[in-house]
Structure 1
Amino acid sequence: MAGVTELTRGAIAHIHKTGQATGEPLLQVVDMKLISPANPASTTNAPRYRFGLSDGVHFMQAITASQLTTLITEGRLKSLSLIRLKEFICNNINNKCILIVLNLDVITQLPTKVGNPVNAYSALGQQNQPVNTMAQPQTSYAPPNAGMPSNGNHAPAPGGYGSRGFGQPNNFEQPRQNGFSSVGFGGNGNQWNAPKSYSNGPISKMGSTPTGFFRPIQNINPYQNGWTIRGRCTYKSDLRKFQNARGEGQVISFELTDESGSIRITGFTQRAPEIYEKVHLNRLYKVSRGQLKQANERFNRSTSNFEMTLDTNSQLEEIGDDGSFMQINYNFTKIASLDSIDVKGNCDVVGIVTGIGPVSEIIIRSTGEPCPRRSITLTDDSKSSVELTLWRKQAETFLTEADLARHPVLLLRNAQRGDFGGVNLNVSRMTTIEKDPVDIPEANKLRAWFDGGGLANVNVQSVTSGMGGGGKITGERKTLERAKAEDVDPTFSGGSGGNGATATFVTRGVISFISTKGDMYYPGDPESKKKVVQYAPGIWTNESSGRQLSDTEIVWRYIISMKIMDSTSSEWASGFDEVGQVLFGRSADELRQLKEKDSAMFQSILDDATFRPLLMKMQVKERMWQNALKVRYTVSRAELVDFASEGHQLLKEIAAYGGM
């Protein structure tokens, strides 16, 4: 063969001997095999493939990193492919070098195998210098006088903090393929942006870390000594207190991320306050001598198989940032488009603070303890606003009413999209919030828009208040029958929806019946919207928070049971306050008073609400009801059909079927 198809002879022998490559050798893929299929029960486990890399004389075993798996599944990388090896890690297993390929270019597909390559290990023997210095696994670490917290995000699983102890590490030939996970960079779906490059030349040898060398985060494990990692802080928790059998303590966790992945790092009582003061979002840090243990996937959403604890011997140091190290990539969603994000999905949002509510408290049922909360209103240049809920310490200290005068910019990464009252945002364990961020173009643009009078004479639509304020309902239209087959049945078959799964879809139909059995409305707390009960004449109590309200302070809200139908099927569904206002054109309190004064008019209003064409955003969940799991439908949004708009929609659907 000639030209570009000539293999770089001698490259495999050089890699076998030194663990490094000279330049970017041209090699051929031989004997590709699937060694571990994707696990459908896991959101992070991708299929894994093993193959040989040949230079025509020798070959070595290799495994692709997860970011390259799509090259295989799409058929671009396969047996006999000619590739340019750009970046790799030489992972030593029993003195055999297994290549973890991080970056390659597929050049072409060759018709046959080049040469008659032999196994480099068999032909050349063991490496002259072991690539990996194997060490005994670290012993399980428990901080003195602290232990693991007994509640919150750090609750231990049976047998230790992880689901497996250090005596049961993952086989290094089958590393967990998290790929670019849900907590990586980006918003919608939170996928990592595939890195363009890790470094020039080989990524690592897996022995002790040379001076000035940083080990990729994804490659450290409890069997190594002398490593140092470098990463950008992409998450930082609050400093929390806990109490267990060993006494009281404090805990903080943060994540460091480099181009290979991310790792969760935790500090306990002795080091927690120091870490809290030292670590800041978006800054660079190097860490060494941390204690590694198996990651507890229940609480850890980083990409690493392991998580780290910093003790008194561990080193944590901020390092200079010249801008060359990878930056956080955001995928911002405009507030007006939040309805397109799945419920409980994550998104990146930047907004101007245009409202700050007072701090209120709810009672956590499991512990009976009060939990502070505060509602924040965010607005952006899509001329829409959304309610953000802060909890615990953030609710009390992050923003105060005094901040409203200067209208700070808030940047949220991995905010959780909720569906309470239409669309809202919540802060989850993995959400990070920055106030008045610098060097973020979207934040600077929004600041300039607001300071330039962007909100002057503008009618801002609230997506949280829902119907009529959340913009048009968008999404693929489905009949009830089709939605059941494609969305509902696959999600909840076999009772699998009991884990909090949600199916959502948009349908066009009518309400055929509205039940008047029981009340169609309830008295609620205007802040939390929770139901209140009458404690005494003129006195109402919110049993969740203990807050008392007068007759004039409570707000009546709809809770409707109705039957929806279209040309294919029908279902019983629930609807709440925003849906009720669309259906009846008046508040729940107005309808309640009308029923008491004029029952005939009340019934007439209910009749008028039926058999009117509606667009409905549906949510389906499986809930326990009378000791049985049942699928419950909810109309989360509704709007009257715009016949002109629907006519255009029908024309598009007909054209899609080739009818026009």
Structure 2
Amino acid sequence: MADIQLTTGICARLSNSENDDDELYNSQPVVQFLSFKRVPPSGGASTMDRYRVIVSDGEHFLQSMLATQLNHLVEEEQVLKHSIAVIEKFTCNLVQGKKLLIILAMRVLKKEAEKIGSPTPVQPRGGGSGPSVDMQPDTPTVPSPAPSTSVNTTSTPATVVPRAQPARQQTQAGRGGRSAIYPIESLSPYQNHWTIKARVTQKSDIRTWSNQRGEGKLFNVTLMDESGEIRATAFNAAVDEFYDRLQEGKVYLISKAKVNLAKKKFSNLNNEYELGLERSTEIEECTDATDVPTVKFNFVDIAGLQELPKDAICDVIGIVKEVGELSAITSKATNKEIPKRELTVVDKSGFSVRVTLWGKQAEQYNATDQPVVAFKGAKVGDFQGRSLSIMSSSSLYINPDIPEAHLLRGWYDSIGAEQTYQSHTNAMSNGGGVSFDRAEIMCLHDVKTSDMGLSDRVDTFCSRATIMHIRNENIAYPACPACGKKVVQMGDNWRCEKCDKSYPKPEYRYMISMAVADYSGQAWFSGFNDVGRTIFGMPADELIEIRERDDIKFNQVLERTIGSTYNFTCRARQDNFNDQTRVRYGISRILPLEYREEASYLANLLLRSEWSR
């Protein structure tokens, strides 16, 4: 039989504590949880649920908050009402004049227990009524056990969170010393005296702006410790002060920065706050960096990108299969050219994705021999389906020394190099928001007889049809690698009038015209690059190379597509050609048949038919 003792008086000590009470903040008190309350995101910078908790020491109770990395303990019911735990890592924030305990790490000693004692609110120093809270501990409907601060248990304590170091470690730096070290997770605008020990994992270029209010410059860095990440931004004079001092990969002690609400349109980090670096901010390089991780990834495989919404931020690792030429686009806002380079990246999921690098990352990319690349903070786009864009706040790692990279390298060298990949941007194309609905399929006869596309507006319809013939004339056109517009050959180069640039070779893009049929009739459908890549399973460059090298093989590739059936979402649009009005059917989305979904749909139809009898 083992007794678990609650730490008597800890709630009062925490409520009335001073920021420099290192003995208290390095302790590991044992408390009981009286209740949990989920606090949903409030909008703005907040993006995650939080859990508000009432903790008790048997005499008093105190309002607390779980750090987001502990949410799973509540959601997976590893900790319950009246559970007893040791708080291994914590801090306190001052909110509206009251202390709020922030629990950063904990270890459950007993999951199921009876309520201990009859705790009351902590009385502030000097008497008076105790602080009000918006969540009171639940009053039991059965008699409570006699007031006590211990409970018997026969089970061995179960560790649900790895043991961590105390939340604060006193660090002396300079003559006056520094405040105790806080984890990034605990920072809030309600604190004034804190120091973080963090690694710079990303540093932007210096950017300038000019508007009616004036002009200036800024740069930002991403800081990380074991508890999380936060973005820090410096403006004007602070840029001169800190830009050269802060270097990627190094660890710093940082204090006296301003904690603000995060501007989410400029940051992809999972943090409600960001730091403003000012001239008075203190930054000192720390040589002892053993307790600060280098970088944290949460990888999504390329096939899984279809599950992410547009503008989502994710981490991806893969093999660079193709590298595009360096090009540039002209910014409409600044009228300046922005360097651009596109990579085709593949992974073990069997999919490929187009990744666009911008600025210096595009200019400086010179890796060869199909390296492993890891992208942190890539932005998901919906251009022709799914694509990735590497922003100024994103990070690119070539051949990183991590287990995932070594496994990927071994797989690709053994079998991946000979594998063919499905173009994720095409097979999952969403047609600019036009979706395919199985229940809305129209036969081709009904499409033609319903006068679709004859009005001024564009009509959309879903169809299932089989390819009968594909025109091999003008099946692809030479396009600009940067903008996709048609280029013209001039000597040994190809000229793009839109970009005002010449390239040693074009990037061919499909321009498909094909006859399709279903049980009711036939129609001509047209589509562009994503349609061709889905049908042929290869980029247009590869098909054009086959045509120029072996005409017989080219015809065989076309013949293999005959008889293939797809689901289509199309736009019917009126067109005038040689003074004749006609309706053209353009493909917005093409999808291979999903036989499992089709079988489920037909089974449901049969069930509904039986029920209606």
Q: TM-score range by the shorter chain?
A: 0.5 to 0.7
Normalised by the size of structure 2, how large is the TM-score?
Answer: 0.64
* Secondary structure in structure 2 of the residue aligned to 1:286: strand
The answer as to whether partners of 1:420 and 1:464 remain within 8 angstroms in 2 is no
Q: Which residue of 2 aligns with 1:109?
A: 112
CA–CA distance in structure 2, aligned partners of residues 590 and 115 of structure 1: 76
Q: Which amino acid aligns with 1:546?
A: D
- 1:440 matched to 2:402? The reply is yes
CA–CA distance in structure 2, aligned partners of residues 70 and 271 of structure 1: 39
List per-residue Cα deviations over 1:219-271 (Å, max 9, x = no partner).
34455444322112233222333334576544211111223332211223444
* Secondary structure in structure 2 of the residue aligned to 1:461: coil
CA–CA distance in structure 1, aligned partners of residues 246 and 437 of structure 2: 51
Equivalences for residues 144-223 of structure 1 within 5 A: 196=162, 198-200=164-166, 211=178, 213-223=180-190
The answer as to whether partners of 2:229 and 2:270 remain within 8 angstroms in 1 is yes
Unaligned runs of 5+ in 2: 19-23, 136-159, 171-175, 429-435, 442-461, 545-556, 572-585, 604-613
- 1:410 matched to 2:373? The reply is yes
Alignment equivalent of 2:356, drawn from 370, 385, 389: 389
Alignment equivalent of 1:613, drawn from 549, 554, 565: 565
Change in Cα spacing, 1:428 to 1:248, as seen in structure 2 (3 Å) is same
Q: Which residue of 2 aligns with 1:86?
A: 88
CA–CA distance in structure 1, aligned partners of residues 439 and 387 of structure 2: 29
* Secondary structure in structure 2 of the residue aligned to 1:80: coil
Equivalences for residues 553-572 of structure 1 within 5 A: 555=508, 557-558=510-511
Q: Which amino acid aligns with 1:230?
A: K
Question: CA RMSD, aligned part only?
Answer: 5.5
- 1:272 matched to 2:239? The reply is yes
Q: Which residue of 1 aligns with 2:218?
A: 251
Equivalences for residues 338-349 of structure 1 within 5 A: 344-349=311-316
List per-residue Cα deviations over 1:263-319 (Å, max 9, x = no partner).
211223444366444434333222223244333232233344433232333232321
How far apart are 1:427 and its partner, in Å? 0.6
* Secondary structure in structure 2 of the residue aligned to 1:68: helix
Q: Which amino acid aligns with 2:166?
A: N
The answer as to whether partners of 1:511 and 1:562 remain within 8 angstroms in 2 is no
How far apart are 1:122 and its partner, in Å? 5.2
How far apart are 1:23 and its partner, in Å? 4.8
CA–CA distance in structure 2, aligned partners of residues 408 and 588 of structure 1: 24
List per-residue Cα deviations over 1:359-416 (Å, max 9, x = no partner).
21223334443222122344667887654321122222x224xx53x66553322223
Equivalences for residues 517-536 of structure 1 within 5 A: 523=477, 525-528=479-482, 530-532=484-486
List per-residue Cα deviations over 1:595-632 (Å, max 9, x = no partner).
xxxxxxxxxx999989843378x999xxxxxxxxxxx9
CA–CA distance in structure 2, aligned partners of residues 366 and 350 of structure 1: 32
Q: Which residue of 1 aligns with 2:29?
A: 25
Q: Which amino acid aligns with 2:532?
A: G
CA–CA distance in structure 1, aligned partners of residues 190 and 70 of structure 2: 26
CA–CA distance in structure 2, aligned partners of residues 647 and 122 of structure 1: 65
Unaligned runs of 5+ in 1: 127-171, 175-193, 471-477, 484-507, 567-571, 593-604, 621-631, 655-660
Q: Which amino acid aligns with 1:28?
A: Q
Q: Which residue of 2 aligns with 1:461?
A: 420
Change in Cα spacing, 1:615 to 1:203, as seen in structure 2 (3 Å) is farther
Equivalences for residues 41-120 of structure 1 within 5 A: 44-75=46-77, 77-93=79-95, 96-106=98-108, 107-111=110-114, 113-120=115-122
Identity among equivalent positions (%) equals 28
The answer as to whether partners of 2:469 and 2:562 remain within 8 angstroms in 1 is no
* Secondary structure in structure 2 of the residue aligned to 1:121: coil
List per-residue Cα deviations over 1:317-376 (Å, max 9, x = no partner).
321244322342324456677667666544434455554433212233344432221223
How far apart are 1:424 and its partner, in Å? 4.2
Normalised by the size of structure 1, how large is the TM-score?
Answer: 0.60
Equivalences for residues 349-498 of structure 1 within 5 A: 349-351=316-318, 353=320, 355-378=322-345, 386-396=353-363, 398-400=364-366, 403-404=367-368, 409-418=372-381, 420=383, 424-437=387-400, 439-444=401-406, 454=413, 458-464=417-423, 480-481=438-439
Q: Which residue of 2 aligns with 1:580?
A: 532
CA–CA distance in structure 1, aligned partners of residues 542 and 323 of structure 2: 29
Q: Which residue of 2 aligns with 1:545?
A: 499
- 1:294 matched to 2:258? The reply is no
Equivalences for residues 329-344 of structure 1 within 5 A: 329-333=296-300, 344=311
* Secondary structure in structure 2 of the residue aligned to 1:67: helix
How far apart are 1:89 and its partner, in Å? 1.7
Change in Cα spacing, 1:251 to 1:533, as seen in structure 2 (3 Å) is same
CA–CA distance in structure 1, aligned partners of residues 243 and 525 of structure 2: 47
The answer as to whether partners of 2:467 and 2:565 remain within 8 angstroms in 1 is no
Select the structure of larger CA radius of gyration.
Answer: 2
CA–CA distance in structure 2, aligned partners of residues 534 and 44 of structure 1: 51
Q: Which residue of 1 aligns with 2:277?
A: 310
The answer as to whether partners of 2:102 and 2:186 remain within 8 angstroms in 1 is no
Q: Which residue of 2 aligns with 1:627?
A: none
